[in-house]
Homo-oligomer: A and B are copies of this chain.
Amino acid sequence: METIYIAFLGFGTVASGTYQVLKQQEEKIATSMACQVQVKKALLRNRGNYVKTAHHDFELVDSLDAILTDESITIVVEAMGGVDFAKDCIEAALKAGKHVVTANKILMAQNGEELTNLAQSQGLALYYEAAVAGGIPILESLRTSFRAEGLHSLSGIINGTSNYILSEMTDQGLSFEEALQAAKDKGFAETDPTNDIDGLDAARKLAILCRLAFGMTIPLDKMAIRGIDHVTSEDIKNTSTLGYLIKPLATAILDDDGALSVQVGPSLVPKNHQLATVTGPMNAIYTRGWASGEVMFYGPGTGALPTGNMVVADILKIVDALVHQEHIPALSRYHVPLNLSAADREIFANFYHFKLLDRDKGLFKLTALFEKYGASLNQLTPIGRHHVLAISQAMTWQDSKELIAEIENIDGISIDRIYPILGQ
């Protein structure tokens, strides 16, 4: 039986999970693939990052060259993270004729197009299923099962840390700080969770998803990104009163003209919506399509074994082609020019929390003002004498901005909070 040799770059959580899956499922893999897959080498620049396994049967090397010049190695798994060195390594590996699998979401969000082009020009694979929603096979499903579909929208809970924090605030009544601490204690937040909380991590994953779902490469600086650190227990209570949960959403909505509206941040989801049930550190991607209707993929977003399982799935796609001496399927050949919704086209309904000096007078003014913009205020709910909650009808981003500016000029009325509501 043929053996295909692979090498790891780095041996942290993802690589150790991948290694465990390959070893534990050795027999099933050999049966399914008619071929053996063996780890031959791992590059470790810093042995401190080495995740100890009970024992391992591969060679630790400290130079990339030891892997690139080894002709028996056909697949390189980049599992170091980081950007610059990882990018250099992937480029070098592709130039040396190796297929590459990576879980590096930062790199694939930033340089995915460039690296994919390099791989395709070499006839090599560059797969990265584990980079988005670690344990959920969403990229492969978009690639194969939705290849002919015209998706209208995609909404994801794709950052487990922020979902855990908001879930704990909702279910346990914790403050943001307490929930963050709980996330750290349980291992659901890293020591520095900045990019989980400020939305950047989810934005990167959304950029990767949009490339496959809509064929567009979206630069991060074109995305509206909000963090979850301003969400208060009071917000959670107030939105719950109106029948909503606050979830950390990453959404992309295609309008009728083929323009995409993209945003990341805490958003309201109706309590009976399928995404409302995605709690704790779990991830989900919810799609609406012309043909497929509503489909949701739910699963773990992180963890050595779930992520390792997806890295192995990528490896085996390459192995399958190698065994049959075939071309490597491109992850996607569907690309359209970047086309982002203009502010006067994007449409959102919003949750508003108003502070009013005089409730009745203030409400009168607000209702008139919203009507001027052709939008009514629904579910008007007073909280004490000086606060009112409401849901606005959907209106354009541009109109919202102008309306908010007008409100802020009225004496005795201020906006305490605004959250967008999950769109279609």
Question: Contact at A312–B148, with CB atoms within 8 Å?
Answer: yes
Interface segment, one of A99-107, A173-181, A301-309, A396-404: A301-309
Q: How far is the CB of A159 from chain B (nearest CB, A)?
A: 17
* Interface pair B327/A147, CB less than 8 Å apart: no
Neighbouring B residues of A145 by C-beta, 8 Å: 129, 137, 140, 309-310, 313
Binding-face segment, A3-11, A74-82, A237-245, A287-295: A287-295
A299 in the interface (beta carbon within 8 A): yes
User: What is the distance, in angstroms, from A366's C-beta to the closest C-beta of chain B?
Assistant: 35
For window 8-41 of A, CB contacts with B under 8 Å fall at: 17, 20-22, 24-25, 28-29, 31-34
Which residue from B32, B140, B146, B292 sits with its C-beta under 8 Å from A334?
B32
**For residues 291 through 336 of chain A, which have their beta carbon under 8 Å from a beta carbon of chain B?**
291-300, 303, 305-306, 308-310, 312-313, 316-317, 320, 324, 326-327, 329, 332-334
B291 touches A299 (CB 8 A): no
Q: In the assembled complex, how far is the CB of residue A410 from the closest CB belonging to chain B, in whole angstroms? A: 42
On whether the beta carbons of A150 and B25 are closer than 8 Å, the reply is: yes
List the B side residues contacting A144 at CB < 8 Å: 137, 140, 144, 313, 316-317
Question: Contacts A295-B299, A296-B299, A326-B327; is A305 near B290 (CB within 8 Å)?
Answer: yes
A309–B291 touching, CB < 8 Å? yes
Classify the secondary structure of A's interface with B.
Answer: mixed
Max count, chain B CB within 10 A of own CB: residue among A136, A137, A146, A334 = A137
Report yes or no: A148 in contact with B299, Cβ–Cβ below 8 A.
Answer: no
Question: Are B324 and A147 in touch, CB under 8 angstroms?
Answer: no
Known: A137-B141, A140-B144. A24 touches B309 (CB 8 A): no
- Residue of chain B at shortest CB distance from A336: B31
A248 at the interface (CB under 8 A from B): no
B148 touches A22 (CB 8 A): yes
Residue A194 lies at the interface, judged by CB distance under 8 Å to chain B? no
Q: Is A149 an interface residue (CB 8 A)?
A: yes
User: Judging by beta carbons under 8 Å apart, are A309 and B31 in contact?
Assistant: no
Interface residue from B137, B292, B300 paired with A309 (Cβ < 8 Å)? B292
Any B CB within 8 A of the CB of A274:
yes
Most B CB contacts (10 A, CB to CB) among A25, A129, A299 go to A299
Least CB distance, A270 to chain B, in whole angstroms:
12
| A146 to B141 Cα, complex, angstroms | 12
CA distance A129 to B146 in the complex (A): 12
Is A135 close to B, CB under 8 A? yes
Interface check A379, CB cutoff 8 A: no
Judge whether B135 and A309 touch: CB under 8 Å: no
| Known contacts A140-B141, A292-B299; A32 and B147 CB within 8 A of each other | yes
Residue pair A148, B303 in contact (C-beta under 8 Å): no
Residues of B within 8 A of A327 (CB): 324, 326
Question: By the criterion CB–CB under 8 Å, are A150 and B299 in contact?
Answer: no
| CB <8 Å contact, B298 and A21 | no
| A135-B295, A289-B309 known, 17 other contacts, Cβ within 8 Å | A21-B148, A25-B149, A25-B291, A28-B334, A31-B333, A31-B334, A32-B147, A33-B147, A140-B144, A144-B313, A147-B316, A148-B309, A148-B312, A274-B298, A295-B299, A295-B300, A297-B297
Nearest first, the 4 A-B pairs at minimum CB distance are A137-B145, A295-B299, A291-B309, A296-B298
